[in-house]
Structure 1
C-alpha cells in the first residue's frame, strides 16, 4: 500500500514536471512575434507581389527571408505556426506530434501504395518541425553533381547554421553506438562535424541543450519585415497563367483561407518576378497537376484543363527505406533522437535512437515509456507487421499490446540503417481535386536489387555493432541476434539464421533471411523526394520546363536524398537560390532599387 502510494506520488510529480516543461516551451514559443505573420482570413482580396512562394516549409522560409531583402514577397503556408504548439518545439514530445492525426496537427499522415505509413508537414517550418532533428550537410560529390557553387553553398549552410544547428551532448547509449561503429571498422573517427564524409561522426542537431527545437521558421528572423507578407492556413487552389505567344506564363495564385474565403495574389509587372513552388515532395507535384501542368491524360481524366503536357511531373518518387533493430538493455538508456551516424562504404548509413526509460531523462519529465520516440505504433512505425498488413486495426492491436508489456522490457533503444540513394523509384498521382488531400504515391521499396543488397549489408553492420565490446553494457548476457530480429519482425528469422557458420560460429546471418527481414520490416525515415526532378520537370536553375515565371525550389527536385538527412540541404537551397535570384534581379533593375 505504502509503495503504491509512493509510486502514485512519483508519477504525479513527473506529470506536473512534464506539464511545466511543456508550458515553458509554449511561453518561449509565444515570445516569437513576426509582425508580418497573419492568418489568411486577414489577407486582402487582391494583392500584388514580386515573388509568390507556395509553401512556408524547410526551403520556403529561408527563400522568402532572403528575397524580402530587396523585393515584395508573399509566403503562403497551408498550416499554422510552430509557435502555437509547444509539442512541436519540444524533443520530449517529438512522437506526440507524429501520433496526432487530427486535422489541425502539424503532421499529416499518409500511407503510400506500398503500405508504409508516412508523414508530411502541415506547419510553418515544414519538415524541420516534425523530424528527428539530425543536421548534416550534403557531401562534396553531391554538390558537384548538381552543379552548385561550393563556396556559395558553404556560405548558405553557415547562414542557416548560425540560427538552427547545435552540437549535441552524447549520453552513454549514443556514445556506445559511436564506439561500436568505430570498433567494427566504420572509420575514420570524424568527431563532431556537419560535413558528410565516410566514417563515424557526431552530427549536428536542431534541438538545443534544453531539448528545444529550432526550425526553418526561425530563419524568418532574417526577413525585412517591410518586404514580406506571410499568411497562415492559406490553401492554394491553383496557379494562374497567361500566355506569351503559345508559352504559358505564371501570373499569380488563387488561395483560400480557413473560413473558405477566396483571395488572389498577382505578380507585379517585371521580367524577374516569379511564382515559386516550395510545397515539398508531395505538395509541389500535386500543385503543378492541380494547376494544369503534368501528364495530360491523367489531368484530363480528372477534368483538369491542361496548361502544359509535362509527363515528368510526379515521376521519380523515392523514399529511403529504413529498417531498425530494437536492442533491449539491462542498463538505463537516455532519451535521444539521431545524434551519431556511421557513413559506411557499402551504401548504408547506420544510426542510433533511444530510449524508453523515463527515469533516465535528465529533467525527469519523460512520460511513461509507452512509445520509443521515432518507433511506435502510434507514430505509424509498425515494423512488426509487414507493410501490406499495417491497417488501422493492426495499429490499434499493437498499441494495446505495448500497453501490456512490463516497463523493464521497454528499456532499450533502436539502431537503424538507411539505404543510400535509393535507386528504386515510383510515382505520384492525384486522387481528386482537393489540394488538402493526400495524393496517391508509390515508392517501390527494394525494387532495385542494389537497395536490397545495401539493406542486408546495413543490418549485418548493426549486428556487428551490437556484438561489439563497446556496446556490451547495453546487451544482455548470451545475446542472440536472431531473437532480436524476431522482436522486430513477426516471422521466424532464426530458422534461416547461421547457415554460414551460425551464431556461435561467427558466420553471421543468412542473407536470404535478412532480405526477407528488410522487406517485411521496411519503414520510412521521412526522406522522400522527387516528383519535380531536374531534367524532367525543371532545369538546373529550377525553372519549370516550358513555362515562364515559375520555379520549384525544394526536395521534390532531388534525384537522391543529400547526406544522411536532407533538411540542412533543403534549408541551404532556399538561401542559395534566394541569393541567386536577388543577383538576377539586380541585373534587371540595377543596384539602386530597394523595397518600396
Structure 2
C-alpha cells in the first residue's frame, strides 16, 4: 500500500463536503483532502438549469438508487436519484432554496441538542447566501456575501402566477419570501440560480480557488475508513486494482449523504454488530443506530394537460431540447435557463395554521404522461407531506463496497402518513379547481386525485414517489441509539465525524439542500473550536 498524509480528510464533495473543505482550508496551516467518487462539476448539464432533465437519470452523474419493494406502495421499487459529481445532489437537484421551519430546529434543541435551534443556525444561513437578487432592500436576516447566489429564476411562467392566484383564492396567504418570517402561503421559490446558471455547493470550491493546502480528488472511490482500534486514522481508496491508504492526522469527516455515509460506516465495521457479522464484516463498534431512522418526503404528482402552448413540455424531447440547449450556449437564456419549478406553497390544516403540513411544487412541464399518451403541453402540481412518522432502514447488501445498499424507507408504514397525504392531495385539488389555474387546464390526467375515500388512497399507493430528501440514517442525539453527538462526533470512535443530511434527527419542512449547507458551516466552526480548545 502507498500512503499520503493530510490533516483532514473529507469524504464526499456534496452539499456538506464542499462547504467543510472550503472553510477548513481557510487556515493555511492545515492540509485538507476532499474526496469525491464522481466527476468534476464542469459539465454544461450541471451548469444549465434545464440540465436536470438529463441529470435525473444520468449514469455518469447520478448513483440512481432504488428502494426495496414498498409494501404500502403496491410493492413498487421507488427511484432515488443522488448526485455522483462534485457538488453532490446540489449539482443535480431542482435548485429550490428553503431554510425550513423554525420549529424544525427548535425541536432538535428540545431533544438536548444544544446549539442546533433556529437562532443558533440563523447566522450560518446568512453566511451561505448572496440574496441580492431576491431582496429589494438590505435585510438583516439575509446574507449578501456568501457563495450561493439566489434568484427567483428567469421565466415566471403565466401558469406559475396563476397557481399562486389560485392558492390565494383557496384561502392561503400569498408569501413573497418562504425564507422570511413565515413559511406558510403560496409564492415564487428562491432558487440557487443566478444569471441563468446553477449555484451549487461547488461554488464554495470556486471561492477557495487554487489553495495549495486544499486537494480535490474526484473520480475516487473510498472503500472504508482506516481504523486503528477505535480511532480513525484515514481512508482506504481504490487505485485500479490496488488499495491505497490516505492518512488524516486530525480527523476523518464523512459527508457522503444519507445513503453512502451509513454504508461506509458499516463497511468499516461501525454499525449493528449482528448485521455486520451476517455479511462477513468484523464489528469494531456495535452502533445500533447506523442505518436506522431513515426518513424522506413522499410525494404525489397531479398531472394536467395544458390548454395553452406555454409549458416547457416540448423541450423534454430531443429535438426541441437540443435547440433550447444550443440557444443557452449562445446566449445563456431561453427555456434552458429554467429548471421548470418556479412556484409552490406551504400549507396546513386548521389545527396548526403556523406550521405547514404539506408542500407543493408546480412543475411547468410534464415529465411522465400517462402510458401510451402524447401530451404536447402539460404541467403538474406535486404535493408532499412534510413530517412523516414512518421510519425506514438501510442495510448492506454485501461486504463489497460496489454493491448498492438495501434501502427500505418503509413509506406509509405509519397509517397517519397516508391519512395526511390524502388530506394534502384534497387541499391541492382545491387549488387546481380555482378559476385562475383552471383556465390553463384542458384535461385532468389523474382523475382519482380528485376523487374521495378509497379511490384517492389507491391512487396515492400506485403513484406516490419520493421527492428526494432522504435523511436521518446517522442520527444526531444524546441517547444510546444516536450515531453522532451534538458536535457530530461518531459515538465510540475517535477522530471521526459525520456531517450531512444523515445526522438530522427529524426531517425538516422543505427542501434539504440549504439546511445541510448551514449545518456544515456550523460544523466547520465546531471543528475549529475543538482544535483551539485542545491547544
2:39 equivalent to 1:80: yes
When residues 111 and 53 of structure 1 are mapped into structure 2, their CA distance, relative to the original with a 3 A threshold, is same
Larger helix proportion, structure 1 or 2? Answer: 1
Alignment check: 8 A CA contact 1:59 1:570 kept: yes
Where structure 1 has 5 or more consecutive residues not aligned to the other structure, the ranges are 1-43, 356-371, 378-383, 385-397, 487-492, 498-507, 590-596
Deviation (angstroms), 1:121: 1.4
- Of residues 557, 568, 576 in structure 1, which corresponds to 2:522? 576
Partner residue in 2 for 1:19 = none
Alignment check: 8 A CA contact 1:65 1:221 kept: no
Partner residue in 1 for 2:321 = none
When residues 76 and 421 of structure 1 are mapped into structure 2, their CA distance, relative to the original with a 3 A threshold, is same
Instruction: Say which SS state the counterpart of residue 56 (structure 2) adopts.
Output: helix
Deviation (angstroms), 1:423: 1.1
Listed one character per residue, the Cα deviations across residues 441-482 of structure 1 (whole Å, up to 9, x for unaligned) are 111111112211221112112211111012132123xx6xxx
Which structure 2 residues correspond to residues 164-313 of structure 1 after superposition, within 5 A? 164-169=148-153, 170-187=156-173, 189-195=174-180, 197-210=183-196, 212-223=197-208, 225-243=211-229, 248-257=230-239, 259-268=240-249, 273-313=250-290
Instruction: Say which SS state the counterpart of residue 192 (structure 1) adopts.
Output: coil
2:413 equivalent to 1:447: yes
Where structure 2 has 5 or more consecutive residues not aligned to the other structure, the ranges are 71-76, 110-115, 131-146, 313-338, 350-356
Structure 2: distance between partners of 1:80 and 1:434: 22
Structure 2: distance between partners of 1:156 and 1:222: 17
Instruction: Say which SS state the counterpart of residue 428 (structure 2) adopts.
Output: helix
Per the normalisation by structure 2, the TM-score is 0.82
2:9 equivalent to 1:67: no
Listed one character per residue, the Cα deviations across residues 191-236 of structure 1 (whole Å, up to 9, x for unaligned) are 13434612223221112342x2121011113437132111011111
Instruction: Say which SS state the counterpart of residue 4 (structure 2) adopts.
Output: strand
Partner residue in 2 for 1:48 = 5
Structure 1: distance between partners of 2:411 and 2:64: 19
In our comparison, the structure showing a higher alpha carbon Rg is 1
Structure 1: distance between partners of 2:150 and 2:161: 17
Alignment check: 8 A CA contact 2:484 2:503 kept: yes
Deviation (angstroms), 1:182: 1.3
Deviation (angstroms), 1:285: 0.4
Partner residue in 1 for 2:89 = 127
Structure 2: distance between partners of 1:118 and 1:150: 29
Partner residue in 1 for 2:452 = 510
When residues 463 and 62 of structure 1 are mapped into structure 2, their CA distance, relative to the original with a 3 A threshold, is same
Deviation (angstroms), 1:90: 1.4
Structure 1: distance between partners of 2:94 and 2:488: 28
Partner residue in 1 for 2:125 = 157
Alignment check: 8 A CA contact 1:350 1:416 kept: yes
Alignment check: 8 A CA contact 1:333 1:413 kept: no
Structure 2: distance between partners of 1:184 and 1:531: 37
Structure 2: distance between partners of 1:325 and 1:275: 44
When residues 93 and 222 of structure 1 are mapped into structure 2, their CA distance, relative to the original with a 3 A threshold, is closer
- Of residues 125, 129, 136 in structure 1, which corresponds to 2:98? 136
Alignment check: 8 A CA contact 1:329 1:474 kept: yes
Instruction: Say which SS state the counterpart of residue 236 (structure 2) adopts.
Output: strand
Instruction: Say which SS state the counterpart of residue 315 (structure 1) adopts.
Output: coil
Total equivalences in the alignment: 463
Structure 2: distance between partners of 1:315 and 1:333: 45
Partner residue in 2 for 1:109 = 64
Partner residue in 2 for 1:24 = none
Partner residue in 2 for 1:561 = 507
Listed one character per residue, the Cα deviations across residues 531-550 of structure 1 (whole Å, up to 9, x for unaligned) are 11123211122111111111
**RMSD (Å), alpha carbons:** 2.0
Which structure 2 residues correspond to residues 148-547 of structure 1 after superposition, within 5 A? 148=116, 150-162=118-130, 163-169=147-153, 170-187=156-173, 189-195=174-180, 197-210=183-196, 212-223=197-208, 225-243=211-229, 248-257=230-239, 259-268=240-249, 273-335=250-312, 336-346=339-349, 347-355=357-365, 372=366, 375-376=367-368, 398=371, 401=372, 405=374, 409-476=375-442, 484-486=445-447, 493=448, 509-535=451-477, 536-547=482-493
Deviation (angstroms), 1:577: 0.8
Structure 2: distance between partners of 1:432 and 1:129: 29
Deviates more, 1:221-230 or 1:515-524: 221-230
When residues 193 and 425 of structure 1 are mapped into structure 2, their CA distance, relative to the original with a 3 A threshold, is closer
Per the normalisation by structure 1, the TM-score is 0.74
Alignment check: 8 A CA contact 1:135 1:165 kept: no
Instruction: Say which SS state the counterpart of residue 516 (structure 1) adopts.
Output: helix
Instruction: Say which SS state the counterpart of residue 75 (structure 1) adopts.
Output: strand
Deviation (angstroms), 1:151: 4.8
Listed one character per residue, the Cα deviations across residues 63-93 of structure 1 (whole Å, up to 9, x for unaligned) are 111111223211111111011x211221222
Partner residue in 2 for 1:14 = none
Structure 2: distance between partners of 1:339 and 1:586: 44
- Of residues 64, 80, 103 in structure 2, which corresponds to 1:118? 80
Alignment check: 8 A CA contact 1:319 1:422 kept: yes
When residues 334 and 164 of structure 1 are mapped into structure 2, their CA distance, relative to the original with a 3 A threshold, is farther
Deviation (angstroms), 1:263: 2.3
Alignment check: 8 A CA contact 2:234 2:248 kept: yes
Alignment check: 8 A CA contact 1:456 1:515 kept: yes
Alignment check: 8 A CA contact 2:311 2:377 kept: no
Structure 2: distance between partners of 1:241 and 1:209: 45
Structure 1: distance between partners of 2:22 and 2:533: 20
Deviation (angstroms), 1:184: 0.6
Structure 2: distance between partners of 1:569 and 1:241: 30
